[in-house]
Amino acid sequence: MPASHRRRLSATHLIVIALIALFGSAGTFLAVTDNASARTAPPADDQTSLPPTSPSVTSPTDNAPPDRSDDRPDSPADGRADGPQQGREQGQKNGQEQKNERRQGQSPGPDGQNHQHSGPAASDFVDIRGVRPNARTPRGQRPAPSGSTGSFTSRCGRNEEGHRNPDNFIVTPGVRNGAHHLHDYVGNRSTDAFSTDASLSAAGTTCDRGDKSTYFWPVLRDLTRDSATGEEGNVGRVLTPTSVSLTFRGSPAAKVTAMPKALRSITGDAKAFTNGTANARAQWTCTGFTDRVLTDKYPLCPRGSQVVRQLDFPSCWDGRNTDSADHRAHLAFPDRATGRCQNGLKAVPQLRMTLTYKVPQGPNFAVDSFPEQLRKPVTDHADFANFMPDRLMESAVRCINSGRRCG
C-alpha cells in the first residue's frame, strides 16, 4: 500500500476512534447519573426521609391566596348558626340545653361559670307503703308521775308572706347567703343575716299572742317546675307548706322549766351526708302513715296523702347559756331510752316542727342543701330562737306541766 494511503487511513481511524471514545463517555455518564438518581430517590411508601410537613398539608407558596378561614362567618360545622334560620334553630337548642342544665343542677355562679349541683338520686326515694311501722315510743319514755304531758302550740302561719332568704344569723351571723340554701321563715318578720337580740325583740311577728320567736327551715322544691335558679344550684319551684305546726311538748321524766329569752337552738345537720348521721334528726313520712318514719329517704306517698317533715329540737338546757360555739353544747337531747336529761341538765319545753306539703307524684321534690350535700333527705334541719314574751313562756310552761293542751 502506498505510503499516502496509510497516512489517510491512519487519520480516518483516529477520527473514528475519537468519535467512539466521545459517545462511550456520554453513555457512561448518563448511565452513572441514572444509577445515582435511582439510588437517592426514596421508595414511594417510605416517608422517613420526607420533610416534617405532613403530606396532607400543602405548604404555602408566595403566590398562593391567603387563608381567610378565620374571616368567614361561623359555619354549622363549627357548631354555630350560619344564617337567620339556623340562628333561630341554634338559639332554641341553646335555650333547651340551658334548661336541661338547670334541671340537672348546673347553674351560673357569681363568676358566670356553671356549678354542678346534683341530686337527689332515684335511690333517695322509697314508697311509704313498703315501710314497716317503726314509730314507737320506747317503754322507758312512757310518762312517769313526775313527768309533764301537756303541750303548747304557737300558731304562726305557713309563710304565706314569702319571707325567705339564704341567711342563718345563728350559725353565720352577719353573712349574706351564709346558709347557701333558701330558708322559709315564720314568726319574727325581720329575721335575716344581721338579726340581733335587739332587732328581733323590736320586730313584728306572724304568730298569735305576740310570740316574736323565729322559726326557720330549708325550703322544699317541686322539681317538675322550672324557676329562677336557686341559691347554689338548688333548682325547682319553692313549695309553701300546706300546714305548719309548732308544738312545745313536755318531758316524760320531769317538769319543764322556762326557756330563757334569746335561747338559740338547732336540730339536724345540714352536712350530714358528708359529716355522718350523728346529729341527723329529721324524720320524713306521709299523712295517714305517721307510724312509719324515714330518716335517710324521701317518702313517696299515695294519692291523697301529703309529705310530712318532722323535726324535734333538743330540750335539755345547761341552765346558763343561750348559745355555744358549735350551737349545740348548751342544749342536748334527752336519753333515747328513758327521756331523761343527763348530767344535771334541765328539761325545757321541746319544740316539734311538723310541716306538710302537696308534692308532685314520683321522685320529683327535694329539700334545699349545700351543693356537696346533693339534696339528700338526711341533711334536713331547722333553727329556732326564743323571743316569746316572758308571760307567754310562763303560760306555756304551766300548760305543759299540768298536762293540758293549749294554744
Residues 6+ apart with CB under 8 A from 355: 217, 220, 241, 243, 244, 245, 308, 309, 310, 311
Q: What is the pLDDT of residue 109?
A: 38
Residue 252 has pLDDT above 80, yes or no: yes
- Residue 271 sits at φ, ψ, to 5 deg, of -120, 30
Average pLDDT, stretch 337-345?
Answer: 92
Is 289:301 a contact under the CB 8 Å cutoff? Answer: yes
Residue 77 has pLDDT above 70, yes or no: no
Residues 6+ apart with CB under 8 A from 84: none
pLDDT digits (tens, 9 = 90+) for 365-391: 999 999 999 999 999 999 999 999 999
Residues 6+ apart with CB under 8 A from 133: 291, 292
pLDDT digits (tens, 9 = 90+) for 102-118: 344 444 333 344 445 57
Average pLDDT, stretch 202-224?
Answer: 97
Higher pLDDT, 324 or 103: 324
Residue 351 has pLDDT above 70, yes or no: yes
Q: What is the pLDDT of residue 92?
A: 45
Residue 314 has pLDDT above 70, yes or no: yes
The vertex-44 CA angle with 41 and 48, nearest 5°, equals: 75
Neighbours of 39 (CB within 10 A): 7
Residue 315 has pLDDT above 80, yes or no: yes
List, as one string, the DSSP characters of 293-320.
-BSSSEEEPPTT--EEEEEEPP-EE-SS
Is 349:356 a contact under the CB 8 Å cutoff? Answer: no
Q: Is 26 helix (H, G, I), strand (E, B) or coil?
A: helix
Residue 221 has pLDDT above 90, yes or no: yes
pLDDT digits (tens, 9 = 90+) for 256-278: 999 999 999 999 999 999 999 99
Q: Is 104 exposed, middle or buried (0-12, 13-18, 19+ CB in 10 A)?
A: middle
pTM: 0.72
Dihedral sign computed on CA atoms, order 276, 282, 287, 291: positive
Q: Which three cell numbers stand for residue 313?
A: 329540737
pLDDT digits (tens, 9 = 90+) for 165-198: 999 999 999 999 999 999 999 999 999 999 999 9
Residues 6+ apart with CB under 8 A from 167: 175, 176, 177, 178, 179, 183, 191, 192, 193
Q: What HEC string does 120-171 produce?
A: CCHHHEEEHHHCCCCCCCCHHHCCCCCCCCCEEEECCCCCCCCCEECCCCCC
Average pLDDT, stretch 216-220?
Answer: 98
Q: What is the pLDDT of residue 94?
A: 41
Please state the domain extents for the chain: 124-406
Range ranked top by mean pLDDT from 55-64, 217-226, 317-326:
317-326
Residue 27 has pLDDT above 70, yes or no: no
Higher pLDDT, 48 or 238: 238
Q: What is the pLDDT of residue 232?
A: 76
Query: Over the chain, what is the mean pLDDT?
Result: 79
